[in-house]
Amino acid sequence: MIGKTLGHYQIIEKLGEGGMGVVYKARDTHLDRFVALKILPPEKVADPERKQRFSQEAKSASALNHPGIITIHDIASDGGMDFIAMEYVEGKTLDRLIPRKGMPVKDTLKIGAEIADALAAAHSIGIIHRDIKPSNIMVSDQGRVKVLDFGLVKLKEAAQAAESQTTETAPVLTDEGRILGTVYYMSPEQAEGKKVDARSDIFSFGSVLYEMVTGRRAFEGPSVISTLSAILHRDPKPVAETVLDAPPELQRIVARCLRKAPERRFQSIADVSLVLRELGEDLQSGTPAIGGVPPKGVSSPRAGIGKRGLLAAALVMAAVAGGYWMTRRRPPLAAPALTRLTFDSGLTFEPALSPDGKLVAYASDRSGDGNLDIWVQQVAGGEAVRLTRHAADDREPAFSPDGDKIAFRSEREGGGIYVVPAIGGNERLIARHGRTPRFSPDGQWIAYWVGSAASIDNSGPTWAGQIFVVPSAGATPMSAMPSTLASVGR
């Protein structure tokens, strides 16, 4: 093919080859620019399904307009050869960039966030990639990410996509029971031949993220069957066991992406991008990992300073600070700056601040459905996210110490304490009839109150009740105070 011309594209050199075709570098003789030509080999043209998938790749990807997704210029046929003309990117695929021991954490977070941004753009218009893997991700010489190969996509049902990002996909090209994708990176639902949705891409993305930071595949066996079995039944080795200085936050992100049940993963790839960027910003500011060990790729601000130097510096600083404290004139205290976070009509109350101070959860009837739901939003600004959607009132939110979960009181099914992931997901019943939940400092227990108004007189209600605690993972509650508590007022 080198030197030949297809349409108005002159082929220069071969770039790569995959299951859906061979890719060449070519020159567009009309516009005098380089392009990448993806050609379906002639011997595979007779396969109608493969040709249809090849055509679908171009049509789906051409609907996307995002800097992180390869641009499709043209789809054509010449001399019995079908081909796609795509944007040509100088760079390397991600599988050629991942070192044997993994990438630095800061690089993993940057590239990972850009991949997630690109997938979020595709998911927003109903396109699911279904074959996310390192060889389908290009990193340009300038460090920009480009996601390739939408040849295995499925389109989500448009009517359901507006309602939820977790709708099933419409079987446009393949029926349930067929397995498509690359074995090492496919989701459990793909491995079982089930219908998939956007959360399948999140699982595959988690496998890529795991490989980026550890240098190893999350799931790999000596055969296809053993690899599929690992995907369905086993969890990969924790990131921290391979990368000792990896931030615990990164390990939690990867683990959540790789949960077997789709409802237990992140529910939106846009949320994954957000948490990766926030973690990257924290590391960029020099914040060390928990335990004082800086993450891989982030230099410690104390590197190279001996213990004696640190002690001497500390003594000098203490002396200077002490002298300044004794002699300075204290300025008057400034009035605190108040920032309004909500602007809704109706009732918005019972705020709870996350331990890191970045999120606030609250109860509100802002949805207009006539009931209270739990909402969460960033203190720095941005749109609020609705966590609960039940017709009954949900209120009294409380963050877990790690900020990953929110406990709340719900009036559904007679009332009780529920827990929901802080960035969205399925609510889980923890205890019946409880109110005002509070996490223990280690996050292992939730304390709550059960009671009611024992009597009402001119001075107001007299409340009677008991305090209980229950494991935050859910178990039979036990009374923390067996005696009845009574007080006037609430």
Q: Which two tokens stand for residue 120?
A: 């979020």
Half-sphere exposure of 202 (CA within 13 A, CB side): 29
Interatomic CA distance for residues 137 and 64, integer angstroms? 16
Nearest to 360 by CA among 373, 348, 377: 377
* Domains defined along the chain, listed by start: 5-87 (3.30.200.20), 91-156+165-284 (1.10.510.10), 348-488 (2.120.10.30)
Annotation marks residue 141 as catalytic: no
Provide the residue count of the chain.
Answer: 490
Element (H, E) at 106: helix 105-124
pLDDT at position 328 is: 56
pLDDT at position 54 is: 66
pLDDT at position 207 is: 97
Nearest to 213 by CA among 187, 255, 265, 250: 250
pLDDT at position 52 is: 73
> In sequence order, what E strands does 284-400 have?
348-353, 359-364, 373-378, 385-386, 394-399
Contacts 24+ apart (CB under 8 A), 484-489: 485/451, 486/454, 486/462, 487/462, 487/463, 488/459, 488/460, 488/462, 488/463, 489/460, 489/461, 489/463
pLDDT at position 45 is: 60
Q: Which two tokens stand for residue 195?
A: 């219908």
CA torsion through residues 270, 274, 280, 284, sign:
positive
Among candidate residues 28, 131, 201, 393, the one labeled active-site is: 131
Q: What global pTM score does this model have? A: 0.56
Interatomic CA distance for residues 141 and 190, integer angstroms? 33
pLDDT at position 63 is: 76
Would you call 42 helix, strand, or coil by DSSP? helix
CA torsion through residues 101, 107, 112, 115, sign:
negative
490 residues of the chain, pLDDT tens digit each: 898 999 999 999 998 887 667 899 999 999 999 999 988 777 666 677 767 766 776 677 777 889 999 888 888 888 888 888 999 999 999 999 999 999 999 999 999 999 999 999 999 888 888 889 999 999 999 999 999 887 554 433 332 333 333 333 333 333 333 445 578 999 999 988 888 999 999 999 999 999 999 999 999 888 888 999 999 999 999 998 889 888 999 999 999 999 999 999 999 999 999 999 999 998 887 654 433 344 444 444 434 434 555 566 566 667 666 665 555 555 566 666 777 888 776 789 899 999 988 889 999 998 888 899 999 988 877 778 899 999 999 999 999 999 989 999 999 988 999 999 988 888 999 998 899 999 999 999 999 988 875 545 555 556 678 899 999 876 555 544 433 344 434 4
Integer-rounded Cα Rg, in Å, for the chain is: 28
Interatomic CA distance for residues 215 and 222, integer angstroms? 18
pLDDT at position 319 is: 66
